[in-house]
Chain A
């Protein structure tokens, strides 16, 4: 069995602090894996190592069996690793549509084209409009990203990821800070994505009901280390999660 994505002994140290500690984990194509763990467990850092925002101190990331160690973040993006950020990370003064169109353009590898007029590439714009529709932002296409309310910024963040059409989707708390009526848009999107069964999805999520419903498997990180991995029901019931994760949740 080759994994769509695999990390082997993936480790990063910040000074003396080991933020991700020798995490070995494989993700099968077509599955949704939830990654859970208390605040500061290293979930976001784990994502940063996979998508290339951070360089590992040790260990490897494999995509369809290929070692990505020498690849930069842009290269990993082109190879099919897509990433939505926990802290919204947009092009603030560009329009909502342009935020998405830039991702579509990157996927079409047209970035170094200096001589055509961007607006003549209708196919990129229509694709961006399609994506905008899926994240329910069509009405706001011409507004600057920074002028959007928080919930819409989160949707746009996810929209940029959708526009990249990667093989591996990594969502980092996509619904955090969203109002109750906005959450379903994002969850439906993830559900649809999962139903296609050809994409590999990694989801960091604190809401346990969401995790229970969506995931095929749960991986638990604690102090940077992988401490539990398996079927959702079994993992949630395991003492280590009750203590290490749900204990924190309850205490909050």
Chain B
């Protein structure tokens, strides 16, 4: 019951999906101890951050039917907010709070402006407007190098409590140092869980139900009394704010931010792939999609290196499995995936469970 409330009554509704979600939850929670080494923890932190980012994108795209190219812009605003605040004001919690607050304010104003000025136009034009705004922002970020570090980005210190220089305990646990870096990981993890649950609540609120109605038939939603411009604007503002918070977590974890880490167009494409692979309009889809994609992004290349070495005598196969081709393979997996599961993995799992019942 308690769990039902936490999940806002939106249970996975499929045994397999439940198992997958539990595995992801505990896998991420225990990564620092199960897979010692900085790399695995890095990947786990990135998964947590992208779950929030993809879920916030799903809020607009999957639930409301709003497609915006400016999503990474808000991710970048969050990351730059923290980066600029911490590098100019020093590595304090206060600076972190100021950076986060300022980023949220900027994101709020920008998303509100984009929403009010352009949500009335056709979806296609809206996407184009957001693309233009996002591109302008990206240019601005690399031009204002005094402020943003330009293309090199900004490296900065975070509060000492979150660094490996801060020992929490003189002991190690299973060979893992209990230090501030570990604490930082759990901060990111906990924030991701809370933010995801908040978004899950929003989409399962009466408001969230209206968003789905608008996605299904905006005209009829108007006719039964919902002012769709208001709802669509709220949805895209919320989506932007959560993306901003994901950016805050990213900067906090990396202690660095630059245009390629948080603003690039590639990230935009990746988010889109993650939400489609996982299943649009399900929230859980972002968990599954982000996890799969980021694991693939980080480990597919290793796997391919193995395969490529194995085929070292066969030039064609060797080249085919060359680690640089990983995106090609991901593309193939993606196409097969979308073809087999048009509603995404979560959609497919839920449908199978529903058919069985």
Q: Quick check: B205 and A77 within 8 Å, CB to CB?
A: no
CB of B261 within 8 Å of the partner chain: no
Q: Which residues of B contact A35 (CB under 8 A)?
A: none
CB of A51 within 8 Å of the partner chain: yes
Q: Quick check: B217 and A77 within 8 Å, CB to CB?
A: no
Q: Which residues of A contact B260 (CB under 8 A)?
A: none
Q: Quick check: A73 and B201 within 8 Å, CB to CB?
A: no
Q: How large is the interface on A (under 10, 10 to 19, 20 to 34, 35 or more residues)?
A: 35 or more
A202 to B245, CA, bound (A): 52
Within the complex, the shortest CB–CB distance from A72 to chain B, in Å, comes to 7
Closest to A163 in B: B224
Q: Quick check: A113 and B227 within 8 Å, CB to CB?
A: no
CB of B216 within 8 Å of the partner chain: yes
A119 to B77, CA, bound (A): 35
A124 to B206, CA, bound (A): 10
Give a binary string over B217-243; 1 marks a CB under 8 Å from any A CB, 0 the rest: 101111111111011001000000000
| Chain A stretch 41-94: residues in CB contact (< 8 A) with chain B | 51, 53, 72-75, 77-78, 83, 85, 89-94
CB of B163 within 8 Å of the partner chain: no
Binding-face segment, A4-12, A103-111, A178-186: A103-111
CB of B213 within 8 Å of the partner chain: yes
Q: Quick check: B9 and A111 within 8 Å, CB to CB?
A: no
Closest to B201 in A: A115
Q: Quick check: A107 and B201 within 8 Å, CB to CB?
A: no
Closest to A157 in B: B220
Q: Quick check: A91 and B213 within 8 Å, CB to CB?
A: yes
Q: Which residues of B contact A93 (CB under 8 A)?
A: 216
Give a binary string over B4-20; 1 marks a CB under 8 Å from any A CB, 0 the rest: 01001100000000000
CB of A117 within 8 Å of the partner chain: yes
Residues of B within 8 A of A (CB): 5, 8-9, 201-202, 204-210, 212-213, 216-217, 219-228, 230-231, 234
Enumerate the 5 nearest inter-chain pairs by beta-carbon distance, A residue then B residue, closest first: A77-B225, A91-B216, A106-B225, A114-B207, A110-B206
Residues of A within 8 A of B (CB): 51, 53, 72-75, 77-78, 83, 85, 89-94, 98, 101-103, 105-107, 110-121, 160, 164
17 A-B contacts, Cβ less than 8 Å apart? A51-B223, A53-B222, A72-B227, A74-B224, A74-B225, A77-B223, A89-B219, A91-B220, A92-B217, A93-B216, A103-B224, A106-B225, A110-B206, A111-B231, A112-B230, A113-B206, A114-B206
